[in-house]
């Protein structure tokens, strides 16, 4: 069956192959780097809260050092950002990481459904990050003018709500493989 989501994922994969050839990007290393950056953002947050709660300015000095490292590393992934893509990318990674942590906590508490919902949202945000980094955002954000005549497994309202994130998710599932050495 050929749905809008399948067509979009195929288009993204074709564009990914072109980008990969043109830029020699190593997505497996990029994925590792993106997760390291997400952790650095989390460290920045923890240093801020610790410095504030304990009223110890030394933590803010550490925060500044970590921030400098995060900025330097992020420049390797977020190149030539347009508009607010830099900040959007940072917040997508940060939010993705936090939702993954909440999902993991829910999982350890036996709340499997809540955990899965958090994991789904986390992966969606992470996928959007890659869509922006790979400059796929403009095409992926566009919604089709009409869904008439398109067979789909999900209700139209559900598809409309998930379409952007699921498009990025389809792209990341097929294009980003951390296990390639």
Q: What confidence tens digit (pLDDT) does each residue in 135-144 have?
A: 754 444 444 3
In three-state secondary structure terms, 107 is helix
> Is 97 exposed, middle or buried (CB count within 10 Å of its CB: 0-12, 13-18, 19+)?
buried
Predicted confidence band at 29 (pLDDT cuts at 50, 70, 90)? confident
Percent of the chain with pLDDT over 70: 59
Higher pLDDT: 108 or 181? It is: 108
> Is 16 exposed, middle or buried (CB count within 10 Å of its CB: 0-12, 13-18, 19+)?
buried
Question: 124, 169 in Cβ contact below 8 A?
Answer: yes
44 CB-near residues (< 8 Å, 6+ apart): 63, 66, 67, 70
How many residues comprise the chain?
181
User: Distance between CA atoms of 129 and 127, rounded to whole angstroms?
Assistant: 5
- pLDDT(4) > 70: no
H-helix segments, the chain: 4-23, 27-54, 58-74, 85-108, 112-133, 137-141, 156-175
Cα dihedral 153, 154, 160, 162 sign = negative
Predicted confidence band at 1 (pLDDT cuts at 50, 70, 90)? very low
Predicted confidence band at 133 (pLDDT cuts at 50, 70, 90)? confident
pLDDT number for residue 176: 52
Task: Kindly state the average pLDDT of the residues 14-24.
Answer: 57
CA-based max dimension of the chain: 63
Each residue's pLDDT tens digit, 36-52: 999 999 999 999 999 99
Candidates 175, 181, 176, 180; CA nearest to 14 is: 175
pLDDT number for residue 22: 54
Predicted confidence band at 134 (pLDDT cuts at 50, 70, 90)? confident
């Amino acid at each position: 069956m050929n749905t809008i989501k399948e067509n979009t994922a195929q288009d993204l994969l074709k564009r990914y192959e072109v980008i990969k050839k043109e830029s020699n990007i190593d997505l497996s290393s990029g994925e590792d780097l993106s997760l390291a950056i997400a952790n650095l953002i989390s460290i920045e947050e923890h240093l801020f809260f610790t410095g504030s709660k304990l009223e110890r300015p030394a933590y803010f000095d550490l925060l500044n050092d970590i921030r400098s490292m995060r900025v330097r590393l992020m420049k390797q992934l977020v190149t030539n950002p347009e508009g607010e893509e830099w900040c959007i990318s940072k917040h997508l990674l940060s939010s993705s990481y936090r939702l993954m942590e909440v999902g993991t906590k829910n999982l350890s508490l036996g709340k499997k459904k809540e955990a899965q919902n958090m994991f789904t949202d986390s992966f969606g945000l992470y996928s959007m990050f890659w869509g922006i980094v790979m400059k796929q955002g403009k095409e992926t954000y566009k919604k089709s003018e009409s869904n008439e005549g398109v067979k789909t497994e999900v209700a139209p309202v559900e598809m409309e709500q998930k379409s952007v994130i699921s498009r990025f998710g389809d792209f990341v599932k097929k294009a980003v493989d951390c296990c390639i050495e």
